[in-house]
Structure 1
Amino acid sequence: MVKYISFFFLLFLSCSDVNKSNSVVIVQDTSIPPNIILFVADDHGTDALGSYGNPIIKTPNLDKLASNGVRFTNAYCTSASCAASRSVILSGLYGHATGSYGHVHDYHHFSTYNEVKSLSNRLSEAGYVTARIGKYHVAPESVYKFDEVLKANPRNTVEMANVSSGILNSDKPFFLYFCTDDPHRGQPFSPEPWDTPNSFGNKAQGYDDVNQVIYAPDDVLVPEFLPDTKQTREEIAQYYQSVSRIDQGFGKLMSHLKSSGKMDNTIIFYISDNGMAFPGAKTTVYEPGIKLPCIIKDPKSSKKGIVNQSRISWVDLAPTILDMADVDYDTKDFHGKSFKGILHQEEASEWQTIYASHTFHEITMYYPMRVIIDGDYKLIWNIAYPLDYPFASDLWAASTWQAIYRNDEKYFGKRTVADYMQRPEFELYNVSKDPSETNNLTHQNEYKAILESLKLKLKTFQINTKDPWLIMWDHDTSLQGSGVNL
């Protein structure tokens, strides 16, 4: 439980001379629970932040957070899909174990099991006032319950910050879950004509109290996994503009926090749910899809500008936040573990292994993948490998993809279109030497021992997390439920 401790001492009564007035010293030791802000962007990769090495994009407020806190360079979501990723952030459990296989909304209708106890519910029970604003995208509400639901345009982060100012002035310690719609692609997903760049939520007339930051397509940086085409550059320029809007809203939120007088007792997290909304990133388990920004400022630490290379995962966030808030929990309740103890280290040798687990995005996109990254090596198991790799509806319609598809181009970035559409069962990469993940080592004899070792670790992970897709190794029916065995 959150500990509120106040001790008052009356000490040092001067009595050497009874005629002298008494001297009283009051010493107060107060332990106040920290406030917590978890700021989650929508489809923001490490490619579009100044503090992560992009010299073009303007993100001064987030860069300032990095200079005053800790910037992780090996932080990963477990599934590059909005709803599935957010369920992991708030539960500390892999989606395959909670029923959170894919999207929540509309006909997709995936939902977390009722018995799961989320981060927000735990903090509320511990005496925090919990509030959320913006994108929710998890279900059911009883599992992911917040005391207050704030309303604002999720594309206008300045407006969101202004609406959130009340919770920052709460008399109780607060947990603010601040989730933007930026820089997710905007409607319409299928533009006319086809080569019109997606807006990424940008509007010609702009948004109230937001200064538009416009980028020239010729100036943007094209990641190597994407084709360097006119269409790609135009869409990245729109994406950058949306990210700069996030940054302004974050800056406004920090201004309100400073005005509340609680800056020195508020832990701030900035993360994204998955990588940029371009083919080759979002919905994939390649590095651009799951390797994400993670910036944390702990006001109790005097260390600033730390770059932490330890591998952490979104499944670790819930226990870490509870640990930093001094809220008791059973470590067996989570698949992840707290990284509070290594937060301000540059690298922790024991934090080199992470797992990812993707099953669906949209309900029509069944393509389960399980991943282990251990040291230099990454193994992807494409469980449904005989199927063509499925496209999210917005990524299929993207002019970036359509320019390749309509012109029957051979390559999409550094991969052939054929390799992108048809995956092998296993993909093994040395991510230190081959960060673009284009040299599959699976069939090279010298890597056979590494391949078998990673397969075994992946199976053990699936057993420990009760992954129903474990049966696909040998079609063992033990995890199929009682109906199969009757």
Structure 2
Amino acid sequence: MRRIVRLLIFVGSLLGIAGLLSAADLHRPNILIMLSDDHSYPYLSCYGDPNVQTPAIDQLAAEGMRFHRYFTSAPQCVPSRAAMMTGRSPVAARMTRFSSPLPRDEMTLPELLREQANYHTGICGRSYHLDGSGQRGGSAVGEFLTQHEMRTFETRVNFLNHCGDPDVAPTVHEFLSTRPADKPFFLWANFSDPHHVWNAPDQLRPDPAKLKLPPHWPDMPGVREQFADYCAEVNRLDRTIGGVLQVLREQQVLDSTLIVFLGDNGAALPHGKGSLYDLGSNVPCVVRWPGIVAPGGESRALISGEDLAPTLLAAAGLPPYAKMSGVSFLPLLKGQAHTPRQYLFVERGPHGSAPVTVGMSSSGYDLARAVRSDRYKFIYNCTPWIPYGPVDSAGGVAWKQMQAAHTAGQLPPEFGASYFTTPRPVYELYDLETDPGELRNLSGNSEQAAVERELRLALAEKMILDFDYLPLPAIPESPHAPSNQVQTAGNRQAAFQRLDTDRDGKLSLDEFGQGRQQDEAQKWFTQRDANQDGSISREEYLPASPAPAKMGTE
């Protein structure tokens, strides 16, 4: 009898566990990422921009949360998308060369969702850009990628379908109609708009004369004409997005789906795509998740492209992958306490597949890094001798008119200095509060010396953690550091202050791990937490002073 009772208890406990798992499964949201191409912030009407009309995306924002300061990890499609999918910087993921395929050993968001949470996964729309160049025309490069099995995404997801923007909604319908009924889904839908070439119909094009121009462009007819073309593409994109949302309604999954809309990098216009100015990497980001994200929310927290993957993993109840350096902003979505980033980082590498040539501009080849805080940005140009050129729009009327005006001496000096200084400065520093157009370089200014040194140190630390191949920026000596030891202690003091975001005099694991890979952060945190109280005090963080050297010894 006792055996029977024990057996019943055991079976009952198993059923209870199964019931808990089923309940957990019910709370795993479907996930849809909708990614526009070359889409700068603030070009959605939900951000108050008067140049575009985007009612479908505005509705998402009204029912969810919009982010003002989401920055991609690179101002180009390939490395930016690599960071989104891996939760790592493009440098750490070895994806700074535009034509690179994602290495097989880099784990991606859809793979983790499929393997650890039983998601049905897919990618559709415009090229996702992570299987390398040479995909068309049977080029030799493409043959190399095939020969060495370097195109991996057919095995990373369950569903893969390239198509143009008009076919995205029908493809989403196909994906949803064929998915297993017992699995949540993850779908990454890619759109071409507002990528160059701009060919949206005239009825979607605003009047160029009525456009409100940002401060980083001179007011010229060609600039207005091309900006109007760009805005028309954004307006067309919104109609495509509306079609996808209608499919979700018809499939009755709209309200059970966590929707993220965002851009992959900035607009292909001067100061935008390919540059480390805000127009190149600050993109729209809107998140809708009924029952979790309160309607009508907004945030000005600094969010990095590295942060998307760990956030969506957390939403599915999964921990971040060990190699991820991104930080989940799920608490922010839930209205909970969130430790904001103090810095975010953006990198620039080669663009497209064009070879290096004498006299080329930075549109095809550039090596640069940037770090941004709430107020300031520091840019480190490692190929300053290469003149600036806008990516994908150097042949457009806007850039040609700017070049002609500069040659004729008619371009206002702030634009001439920003666009046509050659060689470019190795270091740039901008006060984004007083100079949002990033036109007045303050690097070397004594009044900002402390800020510039702080940002150089932050960038150097990130480059070291990512095993960056570029030389580190020069670090000016602190005026209060008479010796190497004091200099080191001063650096550590400044780093502690920088990491202690809640100003409680100690570092949590989340604070200590900012910008570090998760496994490395845990290892170093455990070593420094001498008393094992789950935090690092200032004394534990700072280096011990060396014993005084004996006189007469080496």
Matched, 1:341 2:342: no
Runs of 4+ in 1 over 6 A off after TM superposition: 27-30, 411-414
Q: Does the aligned pair in 1 maintain the 2:414–2:439 contact within 8 Å?
A: yes
**Residue in 1 aligned with 2:248?**
257
Alignment counterpart, residue 215 of structure 1, candidates 198, 206, 224: 206
**Residue in 2 aligned with 1:183?**
194
Q: What letter matches 1:124 in structure 2?
A: R
**Residue in 2 aligned with 1:404?**
402
Q: What letter matches 2:19 in structure 1?
A: F
Alignment counterpart, residue 269 of structure 1, candidates 260, 267, 270: 260
SS of the residue 1:388 aligns to: coil
Q: C-alpha distance in 1, partners of 2:211/2:76?
A: 25
Q: Does the aligned pair in 2 maintain the 1:308–1:346 contact within 8 Å?
A: no
* TM-aligned CA distance change 1:231 to 1:359, over 3 Å: same
Q: Percent identity?
A: 27
1:344-363 alignment runs, 5 A limit: 344-345=334-335, 348=338, 350-362=340-352, 363=354
Q: C-alpha distance in 1, partners of 2:433/2:336?
A: 18
* Greater CA drift, 140-149 or 367-376: 140-149
**Residue in 1 aligned with 2:309?**
318
RMSD: 2.6
Q: C-alpha distance in 2, partners of 1:103/1:367?
A: 11
Q: Deviation string for 1:32-67 (max 9, x for gaps)? A: 421100000001112321011112411001011111
Q: C-alpha distance in 2, partners of 1:138/1:267?
A: 23
**Residue in 2 aligned with 1:150?**
161
Q: What letter matches 2:402 in structure 1?
A: I
Task: Give 1:348 deviation, angstroms.
Answer: 4.9
* TM-aligned CA distance change 1:225 to 1:30, over 3 Å: closer
**Residue in 1 aligned with 2:232?**
241
Q: C-alpha distance in 2, partners of 1:355/1:324?
A: 24
**Residue in 2 aligned with 1:7?**
19
* Greater CA drift, 116-125 or 263-272: 116-125
Q: Deviation string for 1:102-156 (max 9, x for gaps)? A: 322xxxxx233231111122222231111111222112431673211224323x2
Q: Does the aligned pair in 2 maintain the 1:99–1:111 contact within 8 Å?
A: no
Alignment counterpart, residue 33 of structure 1, candidates 25, 28, 32: 28
1:283-294 alignment runs, 5 A limit: 283-294=274-285
Please report the TM-score for the alignment, with normalisation by the length of structure 1.
0.81
SS of the residue 1:397 aligns to: coil
* Greater CA drift, 60-69 or 363-372: 363-372
**Higher strand share goes to which structure?**
1
SS of the residue 1:455 aligns to: helix
Task: Give 1:283 deviation, angstroms.
Answer: 0.5
**Residue in 2 aligned with 1:304?**
295
Q: Does the aligned pair in 2 maintain the 1:226–1:412 contact within 8 Å?
A: no
* TM-aligned CA distance change 1:165 to 1:143, over 3 Å: closer
Q: Does the aligned pair in 2 maintain the 1:356–1:370 contact within 8 Å?
A: yes
**Residue in 2 aligned with 1:385?**
384
* TM-aligned CA distance change 1:382 to 1:410, over 3 Å: farther
**Residue in 1 aligned with 2:86?**
91
SS of the residue 2:88 aligns to: coil
Alignment counterpart, residue 199 of structure 2, candidates 195, 198, 201: 201
Q: Does the aligned pair in 2 maintain the 1:59–1:247 contact within 8 Å?
A: yes
Structure 2: where are the runs of 5+ without partners?
1-15, 132-149, 357-363, 476-554
* TM-aligned CA distance change 1:348 to 1:378, over 3 Å: farther
**Residue in 2 aligned with 1:415?**
414
Q: C-alpha distance in 2, partners of 1:338/1:30?
A: 21
Q: What letter matches 1:395 in structure 2?
A: S
Q: Does the aligned pair in 2 maintain the 1:167–1:174 contact within 8 Å?
A: no
Structure 1: where are the runs of 5+ without partners?
9-26, 105-109, 187-199, 205-211, 475-486
* Greater CA drift, 321-330 or 173-182: 321-330
Q: C-alpha distance in 1, partners of 2:245/2:316?
A: 20
Q: C-alpha distance in 1, partners of 2:416/2:249?
A: 50
* TM-aligned CA distance change 1:201 to 1:87, over 3 Å: farther
1:61-76 alignment runs, 5 A limit: 61-76=56-71
* TM-aligned CA distance change 1:165 to 1:411, over 3 Å: farther
Q: Does the aligned pair in 1 maintain the 2:98–2:349 contact within 8 Å?
A: no
* Greater CA drift, 31-40 or 436-445: 436-445
**Residue in 1 aligned with 2:121?**
130
Q: Does the aligned pair in 2 maintain the 1:319–1:337 contact within 8 Å?
A: yes
Q: Does the aligned pair in 2 maintain the 1:356–1:371 contact within 8 Å?
A: yes
SS of the residue 2:300 aligns to: strand
Q: C-alpha distance in 1, partners of 2:435/2:219?
A: 20
**Residue in 2 aligned with 1:374?**
373
* TM-aligned CA distance change 1:265 to 1:459, over 3 Å: same
Q: Deviation string for 1:398-437 (max 9, x for gaps)? A: 1110112234254768833343233211111121222111
* TM-aligned CA distance change 1:303 to 1:366, over 3 Å: same
- Count of aligned pairs: 423
Q: C-alpha distance in 2, partners of 1:310/1:472?
A: 27
Q: Does the aligned pair in 1 maintain the 2:456–2:474 contact within 8 Å?
A: no
Q: Does the aligned pair in 1 maintain the 2:214–2:437 contact within 8 Å?
A: no
**Residue in 2 aligned with 1:191?**
none
Please report the TM-score for the alignment, with normalisation by the length of structure 2.
0.71
Q: C-alpha distance in 2, partners of 1:414/1:248?
A: 40
Task: Give 1:72 deviation, angstroms.
Answer: 0.6
Q: Deviation string for 1:141-192 (max 9, x for gaps)? A: 31673211224323x2xx3112211323432211111111111111xxxxxx
1:393-472 alignment runs, 5 A limit: 394-407=392-405, 408-410=407-409, 415-421=414-420, 422=422, 423-470=424-471
Q: C-alpha distance in 2, partners of 1:320/1:28?
A: 21
* TM-aligned CA distance change 1:88 to 1:251, over 3 Å: same
* TM-aligned CA distance change 1:409 to 1:98, over 3 Å: farther
* TM-aligned CA distance change 1:54 to 1:470, over 3 Å: same
Q: C-alpha distance in 2, partners of 1:271/1:300?
A: 21
Of structures 1 and 2, the one scoring higher in RCO (CA 8 A, sep 6+) is 1
Q: What letter matches 1:166 in structure 2?
A: E
